[in-house]
A and B are shown apart, each in its own frame.
Chain A
């Protein structure tokens, strides 16, 4: 295909790659340099305390993974078997919520149920029992991680169950297979194919979980590497320890990701909630009762903390909160930083997408070159180098030149933008690639090139996916606590940071109110993204012009 030989597209891609590489590479370089500068000190920091934290990091992630997946299997099975269950669609929608909620908000919801003054404690004391549940520590971390990951695992496994051809169910009911035989012969093989991917994903999410462990972990006994990095930088200012912790965390993520790449990724359903495949067997009343109770338990486990957030948020003094200048400042700061981060994230991922498609189209039947493959890799770089590591690296590096805390707004924008790139890249790429494959020949024939093509052809197709990606990236950035916790100070106060401060000073009502505001902002953005995405899918399936 003939194209303008001097296209700006590869240049844009190279710029985006440079940004991501500098962000991640700069922090890694700083860590390595620091480790060798104070070599004796740095390596001495690898003491038993460090290993204990590493062990706990892995242990909590393993347990969270086993619990989430272990309960997700019967739950996904039950949801798949009970296609006509009243409120099934509502439950699936509800299960999309935890991932959209900022972790801090979810933590407050969980304490409102399981905490010292929570629902369960209230029921216990009403029953006259005086053993008050203590959520802080491993228990709390596990409850929160299962709260986030059970719905994720369930949705992923359900979509793999949905991929079983209808004919299998016809056959199995014709052959009169029992419940157990069906599970063993039909469902388990499909689950098995996806389970390693799902489990790996959850394990990775829990290894890098920061907010949950920071707020629900109980002191040095129950802390993870990421939280320990934060504490050594923010409170102890112990650079040597921070460096060794960060390097350890980095080795851990790299090791796990290489294992994960062997395990393969779970097939994802994206935003949409697929509707039914029909089941033909008349299920026994015993299995129906079992399924119903599994669904009910799963529903309560997710729904209770969410309603807890809403109820305690509503009972907070919202009017007073909204009259506080600090609260307004935090909201405005959060919105401004999040929009800037989202804009940057879109610019970066769109450049990657466009440059990738350009070089893929140009090479035609040849193999992908290094540039194209690095564009793909760049999009997921942030998975290997988690935000806290980037933050820690730049914190340590920048303290030689400036006051690290003065970098807060820039770090929040840069790191949050990079954090959102894997997602925005995945939202933009299919739209762009489809549009390009439909339009490239036509545009070449009609001589529509350059600015004309951007204005008449590409932009109208891109507006909706860009809007979706923007809303998604902004929600992600709004709810993020990691970077701002590291760099945050009173001059740059975001909503999650203010929330954390109020929690820290035991102003629980304020915290609940702020959590509700934060959750509302994120959910509005997520609903916009979700609606847009559904319409996009419908539009794509409707017309092939």
Chain B
């Protein structure tokens, strides 16, 4: 298989404005190549929108998005160097694991031997060997997300976006998946951005952190600094209220 030796790419959002119904969102951010960044914030603060803008599912009203110093603002999602995994609906329910992963290689599913080889390797790598012929409804929630990750692997794109991809999994499974992500990151050097509801995910992957509120990035920096007791008051409120809400 093509060895996934990639270098991640840097991402920049320059004065990106997006109108979401009533709310005007405004993003300025710069994300280093091959870093892991976690995005946290209350619901409705624009976490998913931020990922959708980078992936190209949403178009900014103004501003520019650069990946690897190339302006991608007008590129359709399939032409951007980006893979994205969602919380649900990552897989086509009527296609088996191999086809679901294979679509990442060829959108018409006409796979040549090299494609098949790389699909098989990716499936092994995410620990699903032997389950190639299964349909999504015969997989557990964790296994489905593994298929989505395998597809991201065969797509070989330098940026991986995870939109609460592990939110519906239990704590043990979630940690397992984070481990898998960490392994892949070590191996491929992909730039990874993940939206999460669990601040400790960010600590676990020793990532950078973006804290969003009302469609703006209100705090950013290394997770272990922001999440410590000396972190900004805004963040302490969010985390505090979150704990008391549990």
Interface residues, chain A, with chain B CB atoms under 8 Å away: 1-2, 365, 438-439, 441-442, 444-449, 452, 456-457, 460-461, 539, 542-545
Are A445 and B83 closer than 8 Å at their CB atoms?
yes
Given contact pairs A2-B77, A445-B83, A544 touches B89 in the complex (Cβ within 8 A): yes
B84 at the interface (CB under 8 A from A): yes
CB pairs A–B below 8 angstroms (19 shown): A1-B57, A2-B56, A2-B76, A365-B21, A438-B89, A441-B86, A444-B56, A444-B78, A445-B83, A445-B84, A446-B103, A446-B155, A447-B76, A456-B92, A461-B94, A544-B88, A544-B93, A545-B92, A545-B93
Are B94 and A460 closer than 8 Å at their CB atoms?
yes
Q: Knowing that A442-B89, A446-B155, A449-B107 are A-B contacts, what are 13 other residue pairs whose CB atoms are under 8 Å apart, sorted by A's residue number? A: A1-B57, A2-B56, A365-B21, A442-B86, A442-B90, A445-B78, A446-B104, A447-B107, A448-B103, A456-B92, A457-B92, A543-B136, A545-B90
- A514–chain B nearest beta-carbon distance, Å: 42
Are A542 and B137 closer than 8 Å at their CB atoms?
yes
Chain B residues contacting A543 (CB-CB under 8 Å) are 93, 135-137
B146 at the interface (CB under 8 A from A): no
Are B89 and A445 closer than 8 Å at their CB atoms?
no
A490 CA to B78 CA, complexed, in Å = 60
Chain A residue nearest to B93 (CB atoms) is A545
Are A452 and B77 closer than 8 Å at their CB atoms?
no
**Chain B: number of interface residues, binned into ranges:** 20 to 34
A543 CA to B140 CA, complexed, in Å = 10
Chain A residues contacting B76 (CB-CB under 8 Å) are 2, 444, 447
Are A545 and B107 closer than 8 Å at their CB atoms?
no
Chain B residues contacting A452 (CB-CB under 8 Å) are 107-109
Chain B residues contacting A448 (CB-CB under 8 Å) are 103, 107-108
Chain B residues contacting A444 (CB-CB under 8 Å) are 56-57, 76-78
Chain A residue nearest to B79 (CB atoms) is A447
A365 CA to B77 CA, complexed, in Å = 20
- A443–chain B nearest beta-carbon distance, Å: 8
Chain A residues contacting B93 (CB-CB under 8 Å) are 461, 539, 543-545
- Inter-chain residue pair count (beta carbon < 8 A): 78
- B226–chain A nearest beta-carbon distance, Å: 30
A444 CA to B84 CA, complexed, in Å = 11
Chain A residues contacting B84 (CB-CB under 8 Å) are 441, 445
A439 CA to B90 CA, complexed, in Å = 8
**Interface flags, B58-98, vs A, CB<8A=1, else 0:** 00000000000000000011110011101011111111000
Chain A residues contacting B56 (CB-CB under 8 Å) are 2, 444-445
Chain A residues contacting B136 (CB-CB under 8 Å) are 543, 545
- B83–chain A nearest beta-carbon distance, Å: 7
Chain A residue nearest to B91 (CB atoms) is A545
Chain A residues contacting B91 (CB-CB under 8 Å) are 545
- A154–chain B nearest beta-carbon distance, Å: 35
A439 CA to B104 CA, complexed, in Å = 14
A177 CA to B80 CA, complexed, in Å = 65
B38 at the interface (CB under 8 A from A): no
Chain B residue nearest to A455 (CB atoms) is B108
Chain A residue nearest to B135 (CB atoms) is A543
Select the residue from A439, A442, A545 with max chain B CB neighbours within 10 A: A545
Are B107 and A446 closer than 8 Å at their CB atoms?
yes
Are A445 and B55 closer than 8 Å at their CB atoms?
yes
Chain A residues contacting B88 (CB-CB under 8 Å) are 438, 544-545
Select the residue from A442, A449, A457, A539 with max chain B CB neighbours within 10 A: A442
Are A439 and B92 closer than 8 Å at their CB atoms?
yes
A441 CA to B90 CA, complexed, in Å = 9
B144 at the interface (CB under 8 A from A): yes
Chain B residues contacting A544 (CB-CB under 8 Å) are 88-89, 93
Select the residue from A441, A445, A460 with max chain B CB neighbours within 10 A: A445
Chain B residues contacting A461 (CB-CB under 8 Å) are 93-94
Chain B residue nearest to A464 (CB atoms) is B94
Chain B residues contacting A449 (CB-CB under 8 Å) are 107
- B75–chain A nearest beta-carbon distance, Å: 8
Chain A residues contacting B103 (CB-CB under 8 Å) are 446, 448, 456
A544 CA to B83 CA, complexed, in Å = 20
Q: Which residue of A1, A2, A439, A545 is within 8 Å of B144 (Cβ)?
A: A545
Chain B residues contacting A365 (CB-CB under 8 Å) are 20-21
Interface of chain B residues 131 through 183 with chain A (CB within 8 A)? 135-137, 144, 155
Chain A residues contacting B135 (CB-CB under 8 Å) are 543
A438 CA to B86 CA, complexed, in Å = 10
Chain B residues contacting A2 (CB-CB under 8 Å) are 56, 76-77
Are B137 and A447 closer than 8 Å at their CB atoms?
no
A365 CA to B19 CA, complexed, in Å = 10
A457 CA to B137 CA, complexed, in Å = 16
In order of increasing CB-CB distance, the 8 nearest A-B pairs are A447-B78, A2-B76, A543-B137, A545-B93, A545-B136, A545-B91, A448-B107, A438-B89
Chain B residue nearest to A1 (CB atoms) is B57
A545 CA to B88 CA, complexed, in Å = 7
Chain B residues contacting A447 (CB-CB under 8 Å) are 76, 78-79, 107
- B93–chain A nearest beta-carbon distance, Å: 4
Are B109 and A545 closer than 8 Å at their CB atoms?
no
Chain B residue nearest to A365 (CB atoms) is B21
A438 CA to B77 CA, complexed, in Å = 16
Are B57 and A441 closer than 8 Å at their CB atoms?
yes
Given contact pairs A441-B57, A545-B136, A446 touches B89 in the complex (Cβ within 8 A): no
